Amino acid sequence: MDVQRFERMTDFAWRLPAQGAMRVPGVIYASESLLRDMDDKVGEQLANVAALPGIVSAAYAMPDAHWGYGFPIGGVAAFDAAEGGVISAGGVGFDISCGVRTLHTGLMEADVLAVQEELAEQLFWSIPAGVGSTGAIRLNSTEMHDMLAGGARWAVGRGWGCEEDLQRIEEQGCMAGADPDAVSDHAKRRQRDEMGTLGSGNHYLEVQKVTEVYDAETAAAFGLRPGQIKVSIHCGSRGLGHQIGTEFLTRMAKTAGQYGISLPDRELACAPIDSPVGQRYIGAMRAGINCALANRQIITHLTRQAFARLFPDVDMPLLYDVSHNTCKLETHEIDGAQRAVYVHRKGATRALGPGHPDLPPAFTAIGQPVLIGGTMGTASYILVGTRESEQRAFSSACHGAGRAMSRHQATRQWRGRALRDELAQRGILVRSPSDRGIAEEAPGAYKDVGGVVESADRAGLARRVARLEPLICIKG
């Protein structure tokens, strides 16, 4: 990226002034090094987002931003329905509500190292992974409807978890306003056999050890200390979310002209929030969020069962569950006034600061845990939301390392089998149904997650709390 296009706001914030069709400026939060390494497309896509009707304040990109479908991945933008604001299926993404949850285990590193191989096998055979993977759960029409309306709360009601889990999930495990009838039969058929599965791509389940603590007080409040073992699960709404995104992108592209919307990029297909298409998408998208929350809840149950075979007395409470690809109606202070806006976060994490009314009681005084996924060969991080983030980017932060090259480029540079062996020599056991999938997700294909997290911290989006490294990775 040409840095000269931007005005330096701070060492970790860069402003793209509004020009041409842009209604608001663009802002990228990143170190100068990360900004220089970003694809030029990130700047172009940010400018296109800034040109959409009803956008508020600015279009934002997080430090892990990279080129996506329409919106940059790592993009954040808010729209006001009262000012003709739009909702964009491309601004949410195909994997609706893809996200991360982290579980405590009460175990220490030595406990897991004693059974590392056996635990890896137990997890691999318990949790289906890979393209088109299916599980043992089959949903009939009634159960599908209930799942799409109820999310993780539905899963807990079926015995896959406990009430305490729901207190540690955004929206308490159930996104209100979901409309299962707005989801097509085709999308539902795709999901019928996929509940409780990881999927493919960058989805994973990792057994991780806490290696470093940066903020002792917050780490203690979150239950984190060096040497402890945690489990992180990264996946989303599987085939159902992808089908919703595909269908509504087509529908929005066809109807945009009817509403007088001039699309700077067809991939930014959108509709007015208050239009019939916009409202139907919101209902379907919220059902997709519930699908992802239910899916991660079932995988949590399967993970607990796998651990219990080796550690019968282990207790695995949930630290937190956050989603990445969403659009939510939220109230934010904008130009000194409280306004309700639809915040798109595509490859970005909500990061509520202390005192926010939407936080669970356990985090009211501290702020929200912000879970940043790494790669199977590097580190993941846990951060905490800050009050400053409200003004920086509608209480948002990065979501992961962010790709530095395409999957196709990665497969030309790495071989899955060799990568698996290399990681095993470093003490990281990888299990996956696909060597190609491992190569596509090679750690070297991603940005330096440490640099990304430092940028988020220094920009005031969220504050570093702890660093975790993988011991076992079940890769989709």
- Catalytic residues, by residue number, are 399
Asked if 402 contacts 73 with a C-beta cutoff of 8 angstroms, the reply is yes
- The neighbour count for residue 135, using CB atoms within 10 Å, is 18
Angle at 240 between CA 236 and CA 243, to 5 degrees: 115
Give the ranges where 316-415 is alpha helix by DSSP (H): 389-393, 407-413
For residue 277, what is the enclosing H or E element?
helix 276-310
Angle at 292 between CA 129 and CA 275, to 5 degrees: 135
CA 476, CA 473: separation in Å to the nearest integer?
9
Tracing tokens 């960058």 back to the chain, one arrives at 202
C-alpha gyration radius of the chain: 21
- Write the burial class of residue 159 (CB in 10 Å: 0-12 exposed, 13-18 middle, 19+ buried): exposed
Q: What is the dihedral of CA 170, 218, 456, 214, to 10 degrees?
A: -140
CA 311, CA 94: separation in Å to the nearest integer?
37
Tracing tokens 């997890």 back to the chain, one arrives at 123
Residue type, 401: A
For residue 307, what is the enclosing H or E element?
helix 276-310
- Write the burial class of residue 164 (CB in 10 Å: 0-12 exposed, 13-18 middle, 19+ buried): exposed
Provide the pairing of β-strand 429-431 with 462-475: parallel
CA 194, CA 201: separation in Å to the nearest integer?
15
